Amino acid sequence: MEVLEGVITQSLILGIMVLGIYISYRILDFPDLSVDGSFALGGAVIAISLKYGISPVVGSLFSLIAGMLAGLFTGILHVKLKVSNLLSGILVMLALYSINLRIMGRANIPLFNEKHLFKIDISPLIISISIILIMKILIDKFFQTGIGYTLKAVGDNPQMVKSLGIEIGKIKILGLMLSNGLVCFSGNIMAQYQGFSDVSMGIGSLILGIASIVIGKSLFERINFLKETSVIIIGTILYQIVILLAFNLGLKATDIKFITSFVIILFFTIDKFKSQITSRQVSL
């Protein structure tokens, strides 16, 4: 039971990251590899903040801001300098690796002796539920605003938005800032939960996020009463449970990338199969 509770707690923390990836990957159709660096950036910022005696709440806000700045640089490369979305993400990811090392001063910083969010006398599961509920509500409220609707419209039909006189480049930059901010915030919470920050802790974040989104959308997209943010969080939990089951079946940690690839391919196939059935029913 403790193992399952730990998996769910970790899934909820990672769910914040997946919500950020959802904004860039699903809404803006932007496979942003800079999130791999942003996740580790969150861990680096909170580690140094705690080492200097800064409150974990303030340190978490610093992480959010740091992630937004990373997204800003990715957006400037893509929008202003006309670098492709894939390359701009890769360039920022590479830069962040060195920046994270510079911030931390070394590859790994333990946080076991520091006062952080998970040192208080409250269950880590309750803390993670509270944090992701707050983030989910804020994101849902944001997408009900005019800017939120515009952001979605830029992803769906940029030419239509451009014809209305709206500068889509600025909206894309805003979306990337929000995306990386959430990813970085998730990284800071994860570092506090696991008790250390590591410069390589963000490797594979984009793929993990895509896998979680694909699972959630494939299984629950047609359930009308569930918001997209809820579907994505559920997908993240299910993905982590699939990984846990795979380990219980005897697979090793070195097999995790294969498992992830298999899960994504499987659910992409399921989603395509369901779409074909729906289109045939409509044609009939």
Query: Over the stretch 200-211, which tens digit does the pLDDT of each residue have?
Result: 999 989 999 999
Assess whether pLDDT exceeds 70 at residue 280.
no
Within a domain: residue 27?
A: yes
Chain-centre distance for alpha carbon 8: 16
Among 87, 114, 86, 94, smallest CA distance to 40 is for: 94
2 or 133, which is more confident? Answer: 133
Within a domain: residue 217?
A: no
Q: Which pLDDT belongs to residue 279? A: 60
Chain-centre distance for alpha carbon 136: 12
Q: Which pLDDT belongs to residue 55? A: 95
Assess whether pLDDT exceeds 60 at residue 282.
no
Cβ atoms of residues 92 and 77 within 8 Å: yes
b/e for 103-129, b at 16 or more Cβ within 10 A? bbeeeebebeebebbbeeeeebeebbe
For the chain, give the mean pLDDT: 91
d(CA 75, CA 247): 38
Which of the given ranges, 67-81, 215-229, 253-267, has the highest pLDDT on average? 67-81
Q: Which pLDDT belongs to residue 235? A: 93
Q: Which domain holds residue 47?
A: 2-202
Q: Which pLDDT belongs to residue 278? A: 61
Kindly report, residue by residue over 115-151, the tens digit of the pLDDT.
Answer: 999 998 899 999 999 999 999 999 999 999 999 999 9
Which whole number is the average pLDDT over 210-222? 87
Within a domain: residue 48?
A: yes
**Confidence grade of residue 284 (pLDDT, cut at 50, 70, 90):** low
Which whole number is the average pLDDT over 191-203? 94
Task: Report how many domains make up the chain.
Answer: 1
Within a domain: residue 272?
A: no
Within a domain: residue 96?
A: yes
Which of the given ranges, 44-48, 113-117, 265-269, 275-279, has the highest pLDDT on average? 44-48
User: For residue 158, what are the contacts with CB-CB under 8 A and spacing of at least 6?
Assistant: 168
Assess whether pLDDT exceeds 60 at residue 91.
yes
pTM attached to this predicted model: 0.93
Three-state SS string across 202-269, please?
Answer: CCCHHHHHHHHHHHHHHHHCCCCCCCHHHHHHHHHHHHHHHHHHHHHCCCCHHHHHHHHHHHHHHHHH
Kindly report, residue by residue over 224-240, the tens digit of the pLDDT.
Answer: 778 999 999 999 999 99
Q: Which pLDDT belongs to residue 266? A: 85
Assess whether pLDDT exceeds 90 at residue 220.
no
Assess whether pLDDT exceeds 80 at residue 164.
yes
Kindly report, residue by residue over 33-86, the tens digit of the pLDDT.
Answer: 999 999 999 999 999 999 999 999 999 999 999 999 999 999 999 999 999 999
